[in-house]
Amino acid sequence: MTPGQDEPARPGPVGRLLGSLANALLDLGLPTIRQWLRDRIGPAADVAHVTTDGSLVHLDGVRIPIGPHGMLVLERASATITALGRAGLPTIRLHAFEGVLGFGGAAHWFRAEVSFTAAPEPEEAAWIWGELAIRNTTWSERRDTPEAKPMFGRARLFVSSREWRLDGGRLDGEIFRGRFAGSGVFDGAEDVSGPRPSEALLVPAALSTLALSLEHARVGSFLDVVSGVGGKAIEVPSFVPPDAELDGQLSWSVAEGARAELRIVSEAIRATLHGAVGPTGDDLDGHVDAHVRPAPLLRRSRAPREALPREEDVVALDLELGGSLRRPAVNARMRASEIGFRFERPRFVPPVVLRDLVGEASVKDDRAVLRAVARARTAEVIVDVDANVREPSSMRGALRATVLEAAFLRDVARTLGAALVVPDDVSGAVDFVLAPSDVGPVVSGAMVVSSPSSKLELDVAPGGGVRITGSVTAHDAVAAGVFDGAIVPTEGELAVALDVVQEDGAALRGKLASTRLVLALRGRPEVPPFVLEGVTANVALGSDALRYDELRFHAHGGRFVAKGSIPRSPDPARALVDLELEEGGAELAVALAQLANRPATTPPRDDAAHVSMPDHASSEERAAPPIEGLGARLRGAGDGPRPLDEIWLPRELAASGRLRLSGDLSLRADVSLKTPVGTALELGLVLAREGHLDGSTLTGDVALSDLLASGLVGGGWEPRGIVTVDALVGATTARGPVVLVALDSEQIVVTAAEPPLVAVATSVFAALRVDAGGVMWSRLEARLYGGTVASSGVWEREGRRQARVSFSQVAVHELPAIAGREPQHLVRGRLSGSVIARVDGHLVAAGDLMLEDAAFPVLDLVRPVLARYGLRPPNEDAFGPVTATLVGNDWGLALRNVRVDLRGATLRGDLGVSRSRELDGRAEVTLEEAYLRSSKLLTLPRVLADHLVVPIRIDGPLERPRVHARLGESLGRFLEDNRVTAFVTSAVEEAQFLLGHHPIAEGEGSSAAHERLSHGEELDAELREALDAHAADWETIGRRVAARGTTERYRIG
């Protein structure tokens, strides 16, 4: 062919393929066809079977690779072979096919059922011209994209030897609507207007143009399809949710590159994208205007839930895109009027709000860097973030605020639901960091809250553990409302080491310690504060209560260990404090006595803010208030003499037991008290919220020597022995608590130096009723001086004092000395009788006395004097009982109708002693004839009368009595003016001198002792009525005594 002539067009690759296919098909050789496919398409190409049907050639089981990741599998393809074309080859035109088009591999793939039907009047140059149908498209889905819904579509397909076109394409899903068109050229027929082939295009060179319109697409699904076709994942940027709705247009030109006008809408983001990029992916130029809700995005990034802001918070973003698609560069500006945090609390909880948020961010080489500043009230909060946009778990960050004011801390406490009050002098600081880990980004760092006197630090460990350490003063803890229950610290400092947990209903768990802590009961100013020293405890703080165990401390000289809980809402059945007293002493006993002694009439104060402040004096310096009913202060034994207004407890007193304070502020104390000398008491103190002691008990043994040392009993004598006590506090009355007491002892020995005294009482028993008004006793019994003594009575502090004392067979000669005189030298015998007395401003007493086996050794004192008259003393043994009646009035006591019968003499008379200890007595001694006859000197008087009556008067002080005998007057009536008269008078005077007294004139003395007094029956009736009014109390004592088995042991009868 000569130059300049038109050469026939050389067939392109597709033309050569179809021309060769036609020649091969004419040969009808299947191996030839298969080899032909493999030689030209690749070793994966295949055809299973070839048949002809007139002008149609049918190929079954055709596999045609499409690029590196695609495969077209046709069940049957039918082609029509027409006349020879311009190249001198048979013309072949595709008639129809059905099969499956697939891309990708096991991880990322795209599948579509396809079919083709040729148009009835194709273009002349078209090898393929007709309708392409697309059915049941499916693709691989990433974990966080919406479920794929099959799509259906169609397009008009044109393929010639040089080019291909898709026109009028549409692809529709359940919601999605897509429209597309495209064109391209085959190898050897490239569009020279595009980049040089050596340059890397964004898409294969066979794609010259593409126009894609999307409606209601999903970002994740769209990129999944693209990933499936391409065979590798295209990651969604972390700030774009996969379920975001995607609308807009995408276009491609091999000459100009790609352009995009997209709109992305989801619950987390609303964004518009305008951008373009060159054919090779360079010259990226775009702008994104977005409004982002950070909460869903941070949740997708697996950020800690407590770091999520409110769902409704929106941040405005303005992004500028540059660089290339392979290495994009992003510069962003952000702003938000406010961002709120609820820390996983419900939506109705007011959030902590950061305002005026501004920030800048940049993304380059897949690295995103952010710095934002916001206002926390007036403080500045800085946020820094550094992350790989393709790997959200690589996120790093920091949150810092150097000074957070009290108002912002109140916001935080309110949002957390913490019932805290943040005083104005409290401030805070925050320094948290976010770092990557195997489980995603984790937060660590610290938050410090401090006041002028306290500091607490909240440390967050990378592993998620949160610990609170530091120290807080009692004042700050109360001001913050941490202790809003019944027990309130008023002084001291607490060292804190607490872990934030969520187990067993506890929010905080750890240890507390304090060198000295003073606790008070809220609203009970009358209750003295409790001073604890060396405090350590394990605690668990929950929403309902503060629980503690292994609480150890020293208080009031005792060593305690405790467990229990302090509920936020009072629970009467729950123990606020459960203390085990390991070791205590006198100081602790004083504290318990003061607690029990507080006024029961003081109502609990409802003023929750009122807290009794502690006494800053030491325990030695503090003066305990007087114990009601004793009129004295109770304290531990000190050095030197004991003040008269103090009662001392033994230094060696040891206490142990358990104390339990319940939610209703009632106290139960079970304490053992012991001393080395034998005191062993069990105290069961029951103290109601109102201050009542009903049900409290005190049982055990009391060593009398401890009582003497305490000052409870008067000095000057020394008791020895053990008294068993059984005391019960009965029902509280208008006069206060009632104490029912039973006392018994096998033996009590009392000795005294001045006056000399040794008294031994055995089988002692007493039943007493004690209240603020005084003491009653229905039984007081003892064996004493060889006999028995029994008593009942009433002793009122202000008012009547009445008692009956009965005695039987008491040896008077064993009684201690009276006014320095030993009774055994004056009288012997066994005294029996009963005396009742009442003092209520006036003295009234009555009784009957009888001395059996009476003898009067005192008569031997007048032997020398009587011998001068030729007389000997009468026989000292009375031949009958000595009897007398005891009466008393305001003047004093008197023995009335004293009757003494001796052999040869009798005595009848009265003897009284006034309140001023002055004696007043009158008696007549009758000397019988038989006795007078024994004297030769008194023969004449004996003849004149058969007996002689001698009047006697007694007066003077009790310690120095004066006896006035009228013996001389009696004899002188018969022996006037003789020597015997003078002799007798002189003898009487010598007898009086011998007794230490002198005669006084007749008529001196008082007759008050001889006045008539009330009868004993009246006093008995009064006493019985007073005791019977409390019969139920005496029955209670009786039942308790019977239960102990002491009734028969000490019953006196």
Task: Say what the pLDDT of residue 619 is.
Answer: 40
Query: CB neighbours (10 Å) of residue 1002?
Result: 11
- Asked whether residue 474 is assigned to any structural domain, the reply reads yes
pLDDT of residue 874: 84
989 shares its domain with 872: yes
Does residue 1026 come out as left (phi exceeding 0), alpha (psi in the -120 to 50 range) or beta?
A: alpha
Q: How far is CA 22 from CA 64, 91, 233, in A?
A: 17, 8, 40
Please tell me whether residues 171 and 84 are part of one structural domain.
no
Q: Side by side, which strands form the sheet with 632-636?
A: 626-627, 632-636, 646-649
Check residue 263 and give its pLDDT: 94
**Which has more pLDDT, 868 or 985?**
868
Residue 178 sits in the same domain as residue 299? no
392 within some domain: no
**pLDDT above 60 for 987:** no
Residue 64 sits in the same domain as residue 190: no
Mean pLDDT of 851-879: 82
Q: Which of 151-160, 187-196, 268-277 is predicted with the least confidence, judged by mean pLDDT?
A: 187-196
Confidence band (pLDDT; 50, 70, 90) for 889? confident
* Dist. CA 491–CA 477, nearest whole Å: 10
Q: Is residue 700 part of a domain?
A: no
Residues 987 and 870 in one domain: yes
CA 675 to each of CA 557, 584, 585: distance values in angstroms, whole numbers, following the listed order: 15, 12, 10
Sequence-distant (6+) residues with CB within 8 A of 196 are: none
- With a cut of 90, say whether residue 515 has pLDDT above it: yes
Between 423-427, 628-632, 667-671, 902-906, the lowest mean confidence (pLDDT) is in: 628-632
User: What pLDDT does residue 144 have?
Assistant: 62
Residue with tokens 């390991």, as numbered in its chain: 582
Report pLDDT for 1000: 37
What integer pLDDT is reported at residue 606 of this predicted model?
44
Cis preceding linkage at 242, omega within 30: no
> Which of residues 500 and 131 earns the better pLDDT score?
131
Q: Which 3 state secondary structure label does DSSP give 756?
A: coil
Arithmetic mean of pLDDT, 745-759 = 75
SS3 category, 20:
helix
What does the alpha-carbon distance between residue 790 and residue 767 come to, in Å, rounded to a whole number?
A: 11
The answer, yes or no, to whether residue 3 has pLDDT greater than 50, is: no
Burial of 350 (0-12, 13-18, 19+ CB in 10 A): exposed
371 and 233 housed in the same domain: no
Start-to-end Cα distance in the chain? 165
Residue 981 counted as domain residue: yes
In a domain, 428, yes or no: no
pLDDT at 829: 93
Is residue 1009 very low, low, confident or very high in pLDDT (cuts 50, 70, 90)?
very low
Residue 396 in tokens: 């790093």
- Report the residue count for the chain: 1053
- What average pLDDT does the segment 439-467 reach? 85
Residue 974 is predicted with a pLDDT of 41
pLDDT of 948 above 50: yes
Can you give the pLDDT at residue 881? 93
Q: Residue type at 715?
A: G
**What tokens appear for 181 in the block?**
């068109």
Query: What does pTM read for this prediction?
Result: 0.59
1048: tokens are 């028969």
Band (1006; pLDDT cuts 50, 70, 90): very low
3-state secondary structure 584-621: ECHHHHHHHHHHHCCCCCCCCCCCCCCCCCCCCCCCCC
The three-class DSSP label of residue 155 is strand
Kindly state whether residue 1032 falls inside one of the protein's structural domains.
no
Does 1036 reside within a domain? no
Question: For residue range 638-661, what is the model confidence (pLDDT) as tens digits?
Answer: 666 777 667 777 778 888 888 887
The model's pLDDT over 340-392, given as tens digits with 9 standing for 90+, comes to 988 878 888 889 999 999 999 998 887 889 999 999 999 999 999 998 877 77
Please, which pLDDT band fits residue 983 given cuts at 50, 70 and 90?
very low
Domain boundary among 633, 662, 687: 687
238 confidence band (pLDDT: 50, 70, 90): low
| Same structural domain, 863 and 913 | yes
Handedness of CA 598, 602, 604, 610 (dihedral sign): negative
In terms of average pLDDT, the best of 676-680, 805-809, 812-816, 956-960 is 805-809
Residue 954 predicted with pLDDT over 90 = no
Lowest mean pLDDT among 133-142, 213-222, 842-851, 941-950: 941-950
Q: Are residues 140 and 75 in the same domain?
A: no
In the predicted structure, residue 740 carries a pLDDT above the cut 60: yes
Which of the given ranges, 440-449, 620-629, 779-788, has the highest pLDDT on average?
A: 779-788
Instruction: Give pLDDT tens digits for 247-265.
Output: 999 898 988 889 999 999 9
Distance CA 911, CA 894 (A): 5
pLDDT confidence of residue 1 = 45
pLDDT tens track for 591-605 = 766 666 655 544 444
Let me know: does 790 contact 777? Beta carbons within 8 Å: no
Q: Are 889 and 1013 in contact (CB under 8 A)?
A: yes
User: What's the pLDDT at 939?
Assistant: 57
Mean pLDDT of the region 881-891: 90
Indicate the range of 535-539, 693-697, 1032-1036 predicted with least confidence.
Answer: 693-697
The pLDDT confidence band at residue 275, using thresholds 50, 70 and 90, is: very high
Same domain, 367 and 469: no
What's the confidence (pLDDT) of residue 187?
59
Could you tell me if 112 and 134 are in contact, meaning their C-beta atoms sit under 8 angstroms apart?
yes
Q: How many domains does the chain have?
A: 6
As a whole number, mean pLDDT of residues 446-469 equals 87
Residue 699 token pair: 């049982």
Share of the chain above pLDDT 70, in %: 76
Residue 1050, pLDDT score: 41
Token readout for 756 is: 């000399």
Cα-only R_g, the chain: 60
User: What is the average per-residue pLDDT within 921-943?
Assistant: 73
Residue 642 Cα to chain centre, angstroms: 43
- Asked if residues 86 and 8 have their Cβ atoms less than 8 Å apart, the reply is yes
Is the pLDDT at 610 greater than 60? The verdict is no
pLDDT the model gives residue 514? 93
Q: Are residues 877 and 990 in the same domain?
A: yes
Q: Which residue has the higher pLDDT, 123 or 715?
A: 123
Q: Do 985 and 862 belong together in one domain?
A: yes
Position 675 pLDDT exceeds 60: yes
- Token pair, residue 182, equals 């495209």
Query: What token pair was written down for 15?
Result: 């033309």
Domain that holds residue 523: 465-546
Is it the case that residue 977 has pLDDT exceeding 50? no
The stretch 967-978 carries a mean pLDDT of 49
pLDDT of residue 732: 76
60, 207: one domain: no
Q: Are 563 and 549 in contact (CB under 8 A)?
A: yes
**Three-state secondary-structure class, residue 266:** coil
Angle at the Cα of 483 from the Cα atoms of 480 and 484, rounded to 5 degrees: 95
The number of beta carbons lying within 10 Å of the beta carbon of residue 290 is 20
Residue 1033 has pLDDT above 70, yes or no: yes
> 250 in a domain, yes or no?
yes
Average pLDDT over residues 191-214: 68
Last residue of a domain, one of 660, 687, 714: 687
Q: Tell me which amino acid residue 560 is.
A: F
Mean pLDDT on 65-94:
71
Among residues 372, 387, 402, the one where a domain terminates is 387
Mean pLDDT of the region 218-227: 76
pLDDT at residue number 1046:
57
What's the chain's average pLDDT?
78
How many other CB atoms are there within 10 angstroms of residue 606's CB atom? 7
- Model pLDDT, residue 563: 79
Which residue would you say has higher pLDDT here, 196 or 43?
Answer: 43
What's the burial of 170, exposed, middle or buried (CB within 10 Å: 0-12/13-18/19+)? middle
- Residue where the block lists tokens 């202060």: 633
